[in-house]
Amino acid sequence: MNSNTITTQDGTQIFYKDWGDGPVVTFSHGWPLNADAWDGQMHFLARNGFRVIAHDRRGHGRSSQSSSNNDMNGYADDLAQLFEALDLRKATMVGHSTGGGEVARYIARHGSKRVARAVLIGAVPPVMLKSAANPEGLPIEVFDGLRAGVASDRSQFYKDFAIPFFGANRPGAKVSQGVLDQFWLWAMQCGQKNAYECIKAFSETDFTEDLKKIDVPTLLMHGEDDQIVPIHDSAKKSARLIANVKTLYYPGAPHGLTATLQDKVNADLLAFLRA
């Protein structure tokens, strides 16, 4: 076994990065990226006395491109196996976008005995899909469009998707070509089948009951101009469902605020970790 992978019960290899020493902070990335999307946060926290761990979700990055279990239960169970393999305790779990759903499902499914705090950044809960129960959600056609993009010319699709992801289509936006390029690079490392199946996982999973089970102090961070996971249908609702919650909303900030507002996000994360 490679020193930086674990093998799950169904034989999937999960790659992870493990830097620094101190209190543990884990990171769950967004779709269709990988652990590298957290480098700006991980390196900063490792320099500030924390042990930081981020994995590539199954099918993403350097983890195996599994044919099955590409759903929230599968993702949460992989994370639980990583926690057990590394014997992580009193961890702060941080999740962005799809990763925020993964954190919520982990705590609901596996409990918080190994968890001290949670941070959900631009996260998909409670549920993204529009329905009779969630009329403010996004219509199924939006997600069908994502599926069509992934299934056809996914390379161009990811280049196009990066633009609203980082708010580069807004007047006065200062998003470097490098930031857009790295999104494409990481997205192209995700298996096509895995990226396709993850869309259903992040858009149709209802995390309402999961959020009610979160029993650790939780920080919600969200860009007010998030074009991917609109704040009114996500963080604003999640804040009403989590018992012990603090909210930080960033005016004008996009979905990819961990990159566009890296220094601010890092400072706010550090303050929460030290509180």
Which of 28, 64, 97, 203 is catalytic? The answer is 97
Residue percentage of the chain with pLDDT more than 70: 99
Instruction: State pLDDT tens for residues 97-156.
Output: 999 999 999 999 999 999 999 999 999 999 999 999 999 999 999 999 999 999 999 999
Report yes or no: 58 and 69 within 8 Å, Cβ to Cβ.
yes
* 152: annotated active-site residue: no
Superfamily of domain 5-274: Alpha/Beta hydrolase fold, catalytic domain (3.40.50.1820)
Token pair of 101 as six digits: 């759903």
Average pLDDT, the chain: 97
Catalytic residue flag (residue 67)? no
| Predicted local confidence at residue 1, as pLDDT | 39
Task: Beginning with the edge strand found earlier in the chain, give each strand of the sheet holding 218-223 in spatial order.
Answer: 5-7, 13-19, 51-55, 24-28, 91-96, 115-121, 218-223, 245-250
pLDDT digits (tens, 9 = 90+) for 32-53: 999 999 999 999 999 999 999 9
pLDDT of residue 6 exceeding 60, the answer is: yes
Distance of alpha carbon 24 from alpha carbon 40, whole angstroms: 16
Q: Is the pLDDT of residue 2 over 80?
A: no
What is the rounded CA–CA span in Å between residue 45 and residue 19? 9
Is 79's pLDDT higher than 70?
yes
* 97 in active site: yes
Cα–Cα distance measured from residue 234 to residue 250, given in angstroms and rounded to the nearest whole number: 14
- Identify the pLDDT of residue 3: 72
Q: Which of 226, 233, 234, 238 is catalytic?
A: 226
User: Domain ranges in the chain?
Assistant: 5-274
